[in-house]
Amino acid sequence: MPPGLAKKDRLPPGLERQLERNGTLPPGLQKRVQPLSYQCEARLPRLPADWARVVLGGRVILLDSAKRILDLFWLANLEGLLGL
């Protein structure tokens, strides 16, 4: 993983701005997201079939089928959430 994305709590500044400005997940980052752990998904309400919860750069992101960001929040303990 590139050094800027290796940090678990922050994305590089340019990618941060792109997420905030466009409200979409850039194609390069779409390949780097990880699904939310089963333990977490099981405790949350079901999503529509074409939506997904993913983890990227210290946050959970809710995406629709067009990869638009519907919601996001920061994680306090990424390792625990991913089961690492």
* pLDDT > 90 in the chain, percent: 13
68 touches 56 (CB < 8 A)? no
Total Cβ atoms within 10 A of residue 29? 19
What percentage of the chain reaches a pLDDT higher than 70? Answer: 67
Neighbours of 11 (CB within 10 A): 19
CB 55 within 8 A of CB 82: yes
Higher pLDDT, 15 or 81: 15
Domains in the chain, ordered, with CATH?
3-82 (3.10.450.160)
Higher-confidence position of 30 and 55: 55
Give the DSSP per-residue string, 25-59: --HHHHTT-EEPPHHHHHHSPPPPTT-EEEEETTE
Please give the average per-residue pLDDT across 58-84, as a whole number: 75
pLDDT tens digits, one per residue of 2-32: 444 445 456 667 777 766 656 887 777 888 8
